[in-house]
Amino acid sequence: MSTEANPSSCRFPCGRVDAVARNRRDFLKKVGAGFGSVALLDLLAGEGLLGATGGGAPVLAHHAPTAKSVIWLFMEGGPSAMDTFDPKPELARHDGQQPKLPIDVFFGSAGPLMKSPFEFRRHGESGTWVCDRMPHIARHVDDLALIRSCYAESPSHGPAMYQMNTGLIRTGFPSVGAWLSYGLGSQNRNLPGFVVLQNSKGSKGGANNWGSGFLPSEFQATPFRSKGAPILNLNRPPDITDERQRRMLDLAANLNRGHAAAFPGESELLGRIESYELAYRMQTDATEAVDFSKETNLTKELYGLNQEITRPYGEKCLLARRLVERGVRFVQAYCDDEWDSHNGLKDQHSRRMMETDQPVAALLTDLKQRGLLDETLVIWGGEFGRMPVSEKGDGRDHNPHGFLVWMAGGGIRGGVHHGESDEIGWKAAVNPVSVHDLHATILHCLGLDHERLTYLHNGRRFRLTDVEGEVIRSILA
* Residue 160 lies inside a defined structural domain of this protein: yes
Question: Largest Cα–Cα distance of the chain, in whole Å?
Answer: 103
Half-sphere exposure of 437 (CA within 13 A, CB side): 17
Q: Are 317 and 303 in contact (CB under 8 A)?
A: yes
* Residue 95 lies inside a defined structural domain of this protein: yes
- Indicate if 198 and 81 belong to the same structural domain: yes
- Indicate if 304 and 367 belong to the same structural domain: yes
Please, which pLDDT band fits residue 288 given cuts at 50, 70 and 90? confident
3-class SS at 456? strand
Please, which pLDDT band fits residue 227 given cuts at 50, 70 and 90? low
* Residue 420 lies inside a defined structural domain of this protein: yes
Please, which pLDDT band fits residue 16 given cuts at 50, 70 and 90? very low
Higher per-residue pLDDT: 27 or 436: 436
pLDDT value for 388 = 98
Dihedral sign for Cα 335, 337, 342, 343, please: negative
Span 44-68, pLDDT tens digits = 444 444 444 433 434 468 999 999 9
- Indicate if 363 and 415 belong to the same structural domain: yes
- Nearest partner of 193 among 446, 456, 410, judged by Cα: 446
* Residue 257 lies inside a defined structural domain of this protein: no
pLDDT value for 41 = 41
Domains of the chain: total: 2
Mention every residue, 6+ apart, whose C-beta is less than 8 A from residue 10.
Answer: 3, 17, 20
* Residue 237 lies inside a defined structural domain of this protein: no
- Indicate if 362 and 427 belong to the same structural domain: yes
Domain span at 207: 65-228+290-475
pTM of the model: 0.82
Integer angstrom CA distances of residue 222 from 177, 322, 334, 436: 11, 15, 14, 24
* Residue 238 lies inside a defined structural domain of this protein: no
pLDDT value for 286 = 75
- Indicate if 312 and 348 belong to the same structural domain: yes
Cα gap 446→48, rounded to integer Å: 10
The arithmetic mean of pLDDT across residues 443-472, rounded, is 97
- Indicate if 12 and 141 belong to the same structural domain: no
Please, which pLDDT band fits residue 267 given cuts at 50, 70 and 90? low
Q: Is 418 exposed, middle or buried (0-12, 13-18, 19+ CB in 10 A)?
A: buried
Whether residue 173 has pLDDT greater than 50: yes
DSSP string, 111-133: --B---SS-EEEETTTTEEEETT
Mention every residue, 6+ apart, whose C-beta is less than 8 A from residue 364.
Answer: 137, 140, 143, 373, 378, 408, 409
- Indicate if 449 and 367 belong to the same structural domain: yes
Span 228-247, pLDDT tens digits = 666 655 555 676 666 775 67
- Indicate if 71 and 173 belong to the same structural domain: yes
* Residue 461 lies inside a defined structural domain of this protein: yes
- Name the DSSP class of 139: T
Cα gap 192→279, rounded to integer Å: 9
**Could you count the other beta carbons within 10 Å of the beta carbon of residue 235?**
14
- Indicate if 317 and 466 belong to the same structural domain: yes
Mention every residue, 6+ apart, whose C-beta is less than 8 A from residue 467.
Answer: none
- Nearest partner of 329 among 27, 95, 46, judged by Cα: 46
The arithmetic mean of pLDDT across residues 96-106, rounded, is 94
- Indicate if 41 and 130 belong to the same structural domain: no
- Indicate if 117 and 33 belong to the same structural domain: no
pLDDT value for 29 = 44
Whether residue 278 has pLDDT greater than 70: no
Please, which pLDDT band fits residue 113 given cuts at 50, 70 and 90? very high
- Indicate if 389 and 442 belong to the same structural domain: yes
Identify the CATH number of the domain in which residue 387 sits.
3.40.720.10
* Residue 276 lies inside a defined structural domain of this protein: no
